[in-house]
Amino acid sequence: MTSSIQNETISSLLANIGLEGTAVSPVLETLGQVDHRYLRDLKINVGNVLNSSQHLSGKETRLLALSVAVNEKHQPLIDAFTAGARQEGATDAEIAEVLACTSLLATNNVFYRFRHFTGKDYYQQTQPGIRMSIMMNPVLGKEFFELVSLVVSAVNGCELCVRSHEESVLKHGATEARVFDAVRLGAVVKGLITLV
């Protein structure tokens, strides 16, 4: 049975991500049964990335979190972060753009990792043949579109894409501190998904 302190920690964590009132996953329940200190760390980490960033707005944090939830196909968090983004002022067009960007980057990350891994001239020189028109005039602006692209690429482990999008987002005016906060958010949300 989960202790009352652990119950409070789990409830607070779920409320912070917009999943209050939902069933506790078996994985979280297992940690709660042994009074595991990681639950407190996770609650603090999630709170820090969603609510305490000096370099990302509330809307941006929810949209970035949404991109990771979509990438990882975690429907409860997709719903929660979509609702959170709307509460922070995100429009339907902005939410749709994050969904489309995430899909495009999932595609590109596979393709460009393959190119990078093989290193063969034919693959490097042949045009990808992948349409990317959504990158031209993003609703959220080029800088934020590149930031979403960077976070998804980092989560998917595409070194070539990470380098390219990090360089691009800095050229579009982001600071390294903003990049750091965004990628840290992506990492924490990815870790969160393994438990909820």
Catalytic residues: 158, 161
Share of the chain above pLDDT 70, in %: 98
- Give pLDDT tens digits for 106-142: 999 999 999 999 999 999 999 999 988 888 899 999 9
Q: What are the pLDDT digits (tens) for 155-183?
A: 999 999 999 999 999 999 999 999 999 99
**What is residue 23's predicted lDDT score, i.e. its pLDDT?**
86
- Alpha carbon of 196 to those of 11, 73, 77, 189, 192: distances in Å? 12, 12, 9, 10, 6
Which domains does the chain possess? Answer: 1-52 (no CATH), 56-193 (1.20.1290.10)
Evaluate whether 3 touches 35 at the Cβ level (below 8 Å). yes
As a whole number, mean pLDDT of residues 56-85 equals 98
* Exposure letters 118-127 (e unless 16+ CB within 10 A, then b): eeeeeeeeee
Q: Which residues make Cβ contacts (< 8 Å) with residue 194, sequence separation at least 6?
A: 27
User: Lowest-confidence range among 50-54, 100-104, 106-110, 140-144?
Assistant: 50-54
166-171, long-range: CB within 8 Å, 24+ apart, which pairs?
Answer: 169/143
Does the predicted model carry a pTM greater than 0.85? yes
pLDDT number for residue 1 = 45
